[in-house]
Amino acid sequence: MKITIIGGGGRVGSTAAFSMMINNLASEVVLIDISEDRAKGEALDLAHSISGMKIDAEVYGGSDYSLTENSDIIIVTAGVTRKPDMNRLELAESNIGIVRDVTKRALEYSKNPFVLIVSNPVDVLTYNTIKLSNLEPSRVIGLGTLLDTVRLKSLLKLMFNIEYSEEVMIIGEHGDSMTPVFSHLGADAPISKLRNVFEEVRVSAGKVIEAKGGTWFAPATAISEVVRGLQNKESTIMPISVYLENHGICIGYPSEVSSSGVRPVNYNLSREEEELFLKSVDRIRTAINKNL
């Protein structure tokens, strides 16, 4: 499988490339970046890193989009990154044009690929990509609240040694109005602990950004999870940013992910969860309308 990462010279893109390659998710990886030297340097470093791992994959980089020809998956990590005191929606004005332009250029060389949007605000950018491309909504995915769900499960394990699979997830905006879903757990679930951990998840990315300047390991793990799902015939349920026809926007919602594409599923929410989710929908819709 050929995978292109636009913004591949950056930390998220290059770390995602490494994660996918060591998990044997790609036979060919292309790093595209506005800085040709950076893309080539990261590609060479990656090639050196896998040389002794018995990984049969090719990696190369540059700024020429013809390198991306016939990509199966295009991953977009390009754009301005947020500072610790910013919310993700503040990036819309800067990143809409960047993501639109780089995606348009990449789609000139690949017919009907999957497009995975990682750049923020991911829900707004995923919606714009669907509207500005000729791709079916089932082939355009945003990383969405999968990353927040990864963080939630990690903190539950670290803080309380609690492990959950599909029963616990975060939906809605990948941002301030994200919504935790705990209603699918049994009556003995430690809801108060779960809510405390969720509040930590809400601010955790900002803490990492403040401490080290950005987040890249957790996003790379989530990206690899989506790519793995897109390669399998059997579907996996993930809370990714998808187009919800009944709301007319893209937002994090439980969806089937498979080699056939992505499809939101029917998912029961409690009354409180539904109310919080609808507030998140309104917030994303307002951001989309503001940046049309």
pLDDT by 10s per residue, the chain, length 292: 999 999 999 999 999 999 999 999 999 999 999 999 999 999 999 999 998 888 889 999 999 999 999 999 999 999 877 666 666 777 778 899 999 999 999 999 999 999 999 999 999 999 999 999 989 999 999 999 999 999 998 888 888 787 766 678 999 999 889 999 988 776 667 778 888 888 889 888 888 989 998 899 999 999 999 999 999 999 999 999 999 999 999 999 999 999 999 999 999 999 999 999 999 999 999 999 987 6
Q: Give pLDDT, residue 12.
A: 96
Q: What is the pLDDT of residues 33-78, one digit of tens each?
A: 999 999 999 999 999 999 888 888 999 999 999 999 999 999 999 9
DSSP per position, the chain: -EEEEETTTSHHHHHHHHHHHHTT--SEEEEE-SSHHHHHHHHHHHHHHHTTTT---EEEEES-GGGGTT-SEEEE--SPPPPTT--GGGGHHHHHHHHHHHHHHHHTT-SS-EEEE-SSSHHHHHHHHHHHSS--GGGEEE-TTHHHHHHHHHHHHHHH----STTSEEEB-SSTT-EEE-TTS-TTS-HHHHHHHHHHHHHHHHHHHHHHS---HHHHHHHHHHHHHHH-SS-EEEEEEEEETTTTEEEEEEEEEETTEEEE------HHHHHHHHHHHHHHHHHHHHT-
Q: Give pLDDT, residue 183.
A: 84
Are 120 and 165 in the same domain?
Answer: no
Residues in contact with 164: Cβ distance below 8 Å, sequence separation at least 6, in sequence order: 153, 156, 185
Q: What is the pLDDT of residues 91-110, one digit of tens each?
A: 778 899 999 999 999 999 99
Active site residue 184: no
Are 152 and 286 in the same domain?
Answer: yes
Residues 229, 230, 234, 235, Cα dihedral to 10°: 70
What type of residue is 196?
N
Are 21 and 134 in the same domain?
Answer: yes
Are 125 and 260 in the same domain?
Answer: no
**Which domain covers residue 151, as residue numbers?**
146-290
Are 19 and 95 in the same domain?
Answer: yes
Terminal C-alpha separation, the chain: 34
Q: Give pLDDT, residue 281.
A: 97
Are 123 and 259 in the same domain?
Answer: no
Are 138 and 150 in the same domain?
Answer: no
Are 81 and 190 in the same domain?
Answer: no
**Total structural domains within the chain:** 2
Q: Give pLDDT, residue 101.
A: 95
For the record, the structure tokens of 109 come out as 């060389």
Query: Which residue, of 102, 118, 142, is where some domain finishes?
Result: 142
CA torsion sign for 61, 64, 65, 69 is negative
Q: Give pLDDT, residue 193.
A: 82
Query: Which residue, of 115, 142, 169, is where some domain finishes?
Result: 142
Query: Which residue, of 122, 142, 162, is where some domain finishes?
Result: 142
Are 166 and 44 in the same domain?
Answer: no
